[in-house]
Every structure is written in structure tokens, then in C-alpha cells.
Chains A and B, each alone.
Chain A
Amino acid sequence: MDQEKDLTKKQKKELRKLESLDHEKAAKKSGTTKWAAIIIAGALFLGFFIYIIYSSKQAKNVQTTAKLTSGGWLRGDKAAKVTLVEFSDFQCPACAFREPMVQQALKEYDGKVKLLYKHFPLTSIHKNAMNASKASEAAGKQGKFWEMHDLLFEKQSEWEGVADSKKVFIGYAEGLKLDSEKFKKDFDSKEIEQKITKEIDEGINLGVNGTPTFFLNGKVIDTPVSYEDLKKTIEEAL
């Protein structure tokens, strides 16, 4: 720095000239590769984004009928024409909010609509969701899946924040007059965990990324905001 200060204005000017000459020389040398690199990078970006736009337009036409398995819990008449599939999370407030709508639809369209419930616990944001799913499955082992399901949604605010959710769920099981020893064993079983994981994987493969996600006769539907919404969609499918 000191050295630079000592230079006269003229010398400084010359130095700058020399530097820029150096730059130009270097620039000339790598000129072709430089522009080639810029063009290749530009073409890659352009091509990629054109492809994304193109494929997203196509995806809208293709993704309408997804492959759903029959895994999950069935509620309503087996022979019903319309199947409503719900990917749900017991700790999800949005799911609890829509629970009465689903119940009402099942009642109003008894024999025409059936519900297939699939687990999709969002374990990253809901710490007790996985345990809740396990509790419902363990109750299901004793034939009381839907009783536990209803209870979990009803008392969501009671258990969502607790540290030891398993203990609370055992309490619920006792309230439902389940064999609590068997419940505890099933709760921790690999079998139940695998069943839930399988349903989560199925949801991921179908593009489910939030709960609740509803499918009506294999087609994903907009999440209903009111019962009227849901009713309209069902009427269309009937």
C-alpha cells in the first residue's frame, strides 16, 4: 500500500494501463472457451426450464388417476359405489376440523359412500402423530379402530402436547375397555409400525404432501372447506 502511495500520478496511470492490457490478453486467450461456457450454461438453463414448464403441463393431464391400494380402514357399506380415501394425521388440526364433514357425508350417503382411512402422520411437525397412529392400529387389533379414531380426534388438544403420549393412549385404551396388556404389546409391534410406514410410502408415491388429502374414486380432490363442498364433489361422483 505504501509503495503505491509513493508512485506519481503518471506512473499509476501507466500501471493501470499495463494491468488492463494483461487482462485483455488473458481475456483474448480464454475468449472462445469463455463464450462456449456461457452459451452451454445458458442453453442448459433454458432447456431445463422449458422442460419443467412442458412436463408440468403434461403432468396435470396424467396425474388424475392415481393407483390406490385397498390398505387402510374401511368405514361404511363395503358395496358402496363411491370410495372416499383419506390420508390423515391424528394430530393434524385440519383433519380434526374435517372429521364432522366426513361423518356427515357417511351418514347422509349411507350405502353409497364408504371411507378408506390411511395413516399419513407428519412426524416432522407432529411429535405424537406416529404414536397416535400406532394407538389406533393397536385398538384395531381388538376390533376398536374406529372407536379409538374418533376418540383421538375428539381429544386431540388433550394429547397433542404431552411428553409421554403412549401413557395417555393406554389410558384411552382402558377407557374403551381394551385389554391393556395386549394393547401395549401391539403398540410396540413391528407389524403395526410397518403397516403405517407402508401407508405413508403409498401417500408419498401418490404425491400426498399434506393432510388431509382426499381421493374420490381414485382421483385426488380439492380439500373441502365446508360440508357443502364435499357434498357437491360426492354428488358429481354418484
Chain B
Amino acid sequence: MQELVSQTITALATLVLLSNIASIFLVLLLILRFVTKHPIIRKIHQFILDNATSFSLIVATVATLGSLFLSEIAKFDPCKLCWEQRIFMYPLPILFLVALITNDTKVKKYVLPIATIGLGFAIYHILLQTFPQALQCSDELISCTRKYTAHFGYITVPVMSASAFMFIIVLNLFRNPTK
């Protein structure tokens, strides 16, 4: 059991690391698409654009189940701030799923503000963990400032959350440039 928990957390942390790299790549792609019209760039851009909702669904699903894994199986008590982030993450898989089934490309409009607010909470939470003296949040049995896990030197639970929100935001920033 203990082994399964630590292995899954390492797997989640690895996914987070990959998602961070992917987010950086996507941001670069967005900038490149803006400055050049190179056919390869265009092709990759189009590919991401076509599949953004599919990728978002996977990211949101993994994030949702990951957080449920941490609380229900690994038994990390979610603190108040974790709950705020959960509120903004849990609707996303449903939104993306419905959008995919009904071919609704407008889902980006609704998802972006939700994910941005979630990212805001996650960043606040990261700040809280980094500078526990600067801000106060300790009205839970398990204080928000308690760091449960740090993989690769920086990945804690709120960093995971922030990475997922970030990835979803970047994916949903892709727009058809002709319109």
C-alpha cells in the first residue's frame, strides 16, 4: 500500500514535469505562430488547435483523479486552499467531455476563466508554502503550509495543481488565426 502510494505520487510528479515542459513548448509555439508563417509551425499549431479539447480532457481527468488519489487513497487531508482549487478543477472534465461529444468549440470561453481562478488559488498556495510566515492560513487540522511531497526539488501538491491549470489554460489559448 505504502509502496503503491509513493509510486503513484512519483508517476504524478513525472507527469507534472512533462506537462511543465509541454506548457513551455506550447507557449513558444503560440509566439512562433504569431511571428512566422513557416509551414511546419503552422501544421503543429493546427494539430494542437484541432485536438486541444481532447488533450484538455485528459489533463483535467488526470488532475481530478490525482487529487482524489491524494485524499482518498494516500489519505492526505485536503486543506481549505486545496478545496478551493478542487472546486475549479472538478467541473473541467465534465465541460470538456460534453464539448467533445457535442463538437462545441466554444468551451474555451468558459474554461479559461475557471482555470485562471484555479491557477490563482494554486499560486497563492505555493506562495504560502514557500513563505509560510508572510501569509496566514491555518484553520485546518492539517495546515495549508505543510509540504507533503517535493519531487524533482519543486513539485509539491499545489505545484501539481498549478501545472494542470497552466497546461489547460495554454491549451485553450489556441485560436484559429484566420478568424
Residues of A bordering B, CB below 8 Å: 23, 26-27, 29-30, 33-34, 36-38, 40-41, 44-45, 48, 51-52, 55, 122-124, 204, 207, 209
Contacts and interface: CB of A to CB of B under 8 A. Distances in A.
Specify the main secondary structure of chain B where it touches its partner: helix
Interface residues of B, number: 27
A44 B68 contact: no
A51 B61 CA distance: 16
Nearest to B103: A27
A204 B141 CA distance: 10
Looking at chain A's contact residues, the main secondary structure is: helix
B18 interface: no
B93 interface: yes
B128 to A, nearest CB: 16
A48 B65 contact: yes
A122 B97 contact: no
A124 B97 CA distance: 38
B83 to A, nearest CB: 13
A29 B50 contact: yes
Interface in B40-67: 50-51, 53-55, 57-58, 61-62, 65
Most chain B CB within 10 A, of A30, A55, A207, A209, is at A30
B69 A36 contact: no
B84 interface: no
From B53, B77, B103, name the one whose CB has the most chain A CB atoms within 10 angstroms: B103
Of the candidates A34, A44, A123, A209, the one having the most CB atoms from chain B within 10 angstroms of its own CB is A34
B141 A33 contact: no
Interface string B25-47: 00000000000000000000000
A23 B61 contact: no
A38 B50 contact: no
12 contacts: A26-B50, A34-B51, A37-B100, A41-B57, A41-B97, A45-B93, A48-B68, A48-B69, A122-B141, A124-B140, A204-B141, A204-B142
